[in-house]
Amino acid sequence: MTLEVSCRGLEVPEVVRTRLAGDDVAARLVAEDATLWGPEAEHEASALLGWLDLPATSRELLARLTALRAELADEGLDRVVLAGTGGAALAAEVVCRTAGVPLVVLDSTDPGQVAAAMTDLDRTVVVLGPGSGDPVETDSHRRAFLAALTAAGLDEAQVGRRFVVVAEPGSAPAETAAAMGARAVFLAAPDADGRYGALSASGLVPAALAGVDVAPLLEDAADLAEHLTEPRNPALELGVAMGAGFRTGRDKIALADGGPGGDGTRIEGLGPWVEQLVAGSTGKQGRGLLPVVLESVTAPGAAAPDALLAVVGGDPVEGRPSIGVTGPLGAQFLGWEYATAVAGRVLGINPFDQPDVAGSAADTARVLDDGLPAERPVATVGAVQLHAPGGVLDGVDLSRTDALTLALDALLAAVPPRGYLAVTAFLDRDADARAGELRAALARRTGHAVTFGWGPRSLHATGQYHRGGPQVGAFLQVTGAVEQDLPVPGRPWSFGALQAAQAAGDRRALAERGRPLLHLHLTDRSAGTDQLLRALS
């Protein structure tokens, strides 16, 4: 079964469909015509359309991956940790979750989450991904694992053979891999950006080494690829729906899991991967499509007046503008990538650049160099310290017993018309998982879209949209006290300091853009999370 896209209740302006058909976009995209997005995008697009070839070209990886997986199994190395960031890491996570195969994805700098990943070292192999955004994260993970494996009694050669590296040819990570004696180096596709690299070595290597048979992903994608030149192919229809939503005032895409697909397979966790793809590709030049990952098709925000509901693995929903996207995971990956490129054409933007993401790494570096800014809370309520750098709490009586509720409501009131609230939690997404409940709790109190992301993962997922998209966002950042910090070997900072610098850099960037911002610091993570959820109940 290939991809199937059905639509209900969405007005598609005729100009959208006729222009795409008249310009022969379906066939030109498959032919990798870099002129589709205008002269300013042509140079970049010409170098980043290789993702269209991956269903065929990535097959050359399969035999090597099978052999390497067997080799690792023979040595008792059956636990895979992926240290990487961005779309490829999210793709590998989706693949493994859907297959029910364990994979530890380490795309966090939280000391607790890093420490939890560095367990069971006697059976662990580390895959260093090419990442996106700030390379300091993956380099810090590499340094930590090198030190931990050495402390476990492995010699230099043995330590090197615990690493598998995915890197672009001639890059610094490729050179580092050779210097450390990595067991294997897989070359990342230089003509497929990380957001579009789900079917490249970046996405396939960690999943295959964890134990997933990745060949069906490529086969299902190849089945879809055979139809992509057709003028009404399903991926094009998905792109038409996304573009039509934007043109008709539905510039939020509410992503929800619809359950098992027609083949009985339930795709697990595709929403965050789609989120990084669409937000990073379209959020620029003051416009864009904002994905909102929902807990279910009935979750708060599913019926928002400025949202198009997209049901992954299910049918569109009666009574509201919605689309259903069904099909196997490989076809979903390629279909959403193709659709996003089509939507970029409709929006009039370059879907392959991320002009504002580089600033995130620079912001972090500046804080690491200069030190954390001196910030005094405007109030402390139990285990929650409140910081309001932009004055979002001016006029709020923070001496009241319900001060926390008043503060959160003041932030919601600051969301502009047709705007959104973005919640970012720089916490441990495993140990502090309850913080994820904040999205739905806040969405119940407002008619605006509410998104949730774990920092620093979210900086690579939606950071481009936050900085370069429509400036109609308000922001809630949640940080937490670190009980036991972890050093970054060979660096003058710890993981706790790095995490704090990433959060502070993001706050600085938002403040410079004049966005409403509320920063809540939890002096006790568990107690503080409970307080927040009670304040919103």
Condensed to tens digits (0 to 9), the pLDDT of residues 222-278 reads: 999 999 999 999 999 999 999 999 999 999 999 999 876 555 678 999 999 999 999
**Mean of pLDDT values over 352-373:** 86
Lowest mean pLDDT, pick from 25-29, 258-262, 287-291: 258-262
Output the CA–CA distances (angstroms, integers) from residue 67 to 61, 74, 81, 184, in the order listed.
Answer: 10, 11, 19, 12
CB 515 within 8 A of CB 471: yes
How far is it, in rounded angstroms, from Cα 152 to Cα 150? 5
The residues that bridge with 254 in the sheet, in sequence order, are 292, 309
How far is it, in rounded angstroms, from Cα 232 to Cα 240? 10
Element spanning 530, H or E? helix 525-535
How many other β-carbons are positioned within 10 Å of the β-carbon of residue 516?
A: 22
Which residue in 349, 342, 350, 348 sits closest to 241, CA to CA? 342
Cα 407 → chain centroid: 28
Q: Give the rounded percent of residues in the chain with a pLDDT score beyond 90.
A: 88
Q: What is the pLDDT of residues 79-114, one digit of tens each?
A: 999 998 889 899 999 999 999 999 999 999 999 999
Q: What is the DSSP string of 117-142?
A: HS--GGGEEEEE---SS-THHHHHHH
Q: 219: which 2 tokens?
A: 């086969």
The pLDDT value recorded for residue 112 is 98
Confidence grade of residue 134 (pLDDT, cut at 50, 70, 90): low
Confidence grade of residue 13 (pLDDT, cut at 50, 70, 90): very high
Using DSSP bridges, classify how beta strands 517-522 and 473-480 pair: parallel, antiparallel or unpaired: parallel
**Mean of pLDDT values over 296-300:** 96
CB 491 within 8 A of CB 140: yes
Backbone angles phi, psi at 241, to 5 degrees: -65, -40
CB 89 within 8 A of CB 129: yes
In which order are the strands placed within the sheet that holds 4-8? Answer: 4-8, 322-326, 307-312, 252-257, 290-293
Q: What is the DSSP string of 243-301?
A: HHHHHTT--EEEEEE--S-TTSPPP-SHHHHHHHHHHHHH-BTTB--EEEE-SSTTSTT
Report whether pLDDT(131) > 70: no
Report whether pLDDT(1) > 70: no
How many other β-carbons are positioned within 10 Å of the β-carbon of residue 494?
A: 17
The pLDDT value recorded for residue 88 is 87
Report whether pLDDT(292) > 90: yes
Report whether pLDDT(132) > 80: no
**Mean of pLDDT values over 349-365:** 86
How far is it, in rounded angstroms, from Cα 158 to Cα 474? 49
Residue with tokens 């570096």: 365
The pLDDT value recorded for residue 260 is 66
Report whether pLDDT(212) > 80: yes
The pLDDT value recorded for residue 262 is 53
pTM above 0.85, yes or no: yes
The residues that bridge with 83 in the sheet, in sequence order, are 106, 128
CB 366 within 8 A of CB 381: no
Q: Give the rounded percent of residues in the chain with a pLDDT score beyond 70.
A: 98
The pLDDT value recorded for residue 267 is 94
How far is it, in rounded angstroms, from Cα 109 to Cα 500? 9
The pLDDT value recorded for residue 264 is 61
How far is it, in rounded angstroms, from Cα 420 to Cα 476? 11
The pLDDT value recorded for residue 360 is 80
In which order are the strands placed within the sheet that holds 379-381? Answer: 379-381, 384-387, 517-522, 473-480, 420-426, 449-454
Confidence grade of residue 515 (pLDDT, cut at 50, 70, 90): very high
Sign of the C-alpha dihedral computed for residues 184, 188, 190 and 191 taken in this order:
positive
Q: What is the pLDDT of residues 141-196, one digit of tens each?
A: 999 999 999 999 999 999 999 999 999 888 888 999 999 999 999 999 889 878 99
Lowest mean pLDDT, pick from 121-135, 310-324, 406-420: 121-135
Confidence grade of residue 357 (pLDDT, cut at 50, 70, 90): confident
What's the chain's average pLDDT? Answer: 95
Helices (H) and strands (E) in the chain, counts: 22, 16
Which residue in 424, 488, 217, 435 sits closest to 332, CA to CA? 217
CB 431 within 8 A of CB 484: no
Task: Indicate the length of the chain as a whole number.
Answer: 537
